[in-house]
Amino acid sequence: MSINNNSKIYDILIHIGCGATPKIEEYRALAKQIWLIDADSQAVAILQEENQTIEDVNILYALVDTEKRTGTFYRYSLGWANSLTPVDESIFRLYPGLKSLENQQQLTTPIDEIIKQCLLRGPSVSSILLLDVGEQNDNLLQAMEEKGVVGLLELVLVLPAHRSVQPVNVPPGLHIRATTPTGLSLPRNTYVLKRHPLLQELQHYKAQVKKFKKTLEQNQEKLTERDKQLADCIKQRDEEKQKVNVLVKELDLIKEQVEKKMYQTEEQLYLMKKILIEEKE
């Protein structure tokens, strides 16, 4: 297929979970830079061998997840079954030819990191993501929303999972678009999601809410610190008050002792005076 650069409408196309047979010619007709990502080492080796001379096709070996952790990649004889989670026994009964090939433990790559990595490698003005990881699709979509990378993509195509009939939970930053990009053939029931036109405004308000929450937390910390200082002052006041009370009691005791001593002295003086008078007489 001839590639017409003038007809390309995207700068970057990313396919996560591409397997060994992605539609590279369709992708190259649609975008200037292609990123093919899969956790199957054999599929990645095949792609690297077949596309080693094509400069606009980049291939990454990565197990994409919502966060960085040690995960297990389950590889099966049918590529659509490959996943971070093992196939249920009921699926084996539905597909008698489905066989477990191997389980590979590897460090996962967060989806926000992989998207940013791909977008940083080229002049990204517009980008499209094909999300093709079966039952992981929904979790990855929500992680993209939470980590703020939805706004970096113009289109997100969520290919249907073979092992699930659950509808896609579309995050607020995206909305369903009726038509697929021209020249791109997709499976039935693919969700074509477009960046929400109010996303920037939504992100602005989210940033404001985050800022207000941070200010509120800081004010709460200050209030807590002031409450602590007030409690310390009250405690110190009570301790000083107790000391004053003790001193007052001691002072009263001393006063009582002094008065008693003065009385005794006056008595002695009176007796001495009386004696002197009697002696004179």
Regarding pTM above 0.85, the answer is no
Domain boundaries, the chain: 5-197, 198-281
Multiple choice CATH, 5-197, 1.10.1450, 1.10.3470, 3.40.50, 3.30.70: 3.40.50
Residue type, 169: N
Q: Report yes or no: 62 and 26 within 8 Å, Cβ to Cβ.
A: no
**What whole-number distance in Å separates Cα of residue 13 and Cα of residue 153?**
10
- Pairing between β-strand 57-61 and β-strand 31-38 as defined by DSSP bridges: parallel
> Considering only CA atoms, which of 5, 9, 2, 63 is closest in space to residue 37?
63
Query: What does the pLDDT profile of the chain (281 residues) look like in tens digits?
Result: 444 444 568 999 999 999 988 999 999 999 999 999 999 988 999 999 999 888 899 999 999 999 999 988 888 888 888 888 888 888 888 888 888 888 888 899 999 999 999 987 555 578 999 999 988 899 999 999 999 888 889 899 999 887 566 678 888 878 887 678 888 988 888 889 988 776 666 666 777 888 888 888 989 998 989 999 999 999 999 999 998 998 889 888 998 888 888 888 888 888 888 888 877 76
| pLDDT given for residue 2 in this prediction | 41
> Considering only CA atoms, which of 192, 109, 207, 117 is closest in space to residue 154?
192
- DSSP letter for each residue of the chain: ----GGG--EEEEEEET--S---HHHHHHHEEEEEEEES-HHHHHHHHHHTTT-TTEEEEE-EEESS--EEEEEEESSGGG-BSSPPPHHHHHH-TT--EEEEEEEEEEEHHHHHHHHHHTTT-SSEEEEE--GGGHHHHHHHHHHTT-GGG-SEEEEPPPTT--PPP---TTEEE-SSPPTT----TT-EEEEE-TTHHHHHHHHHHHHHHHHHHHHHHHHHHHHHHHHHHHHHHHHHHHHHHHHHHHHHHHHHHHHHHHHHHHHHHHHHHHHHHHHHH-
Residue-wise burial string across 237-247, b where 16 or more C-beta atoms lie within 10 A, e elsewhere: eeeeeeeeeee
- Phi and psi for 67 in degrees, rounded to 5? -150, 170
Query: Sign of the C-alpha dihedral, residues 60, 66, 68, 71?
Result: negative
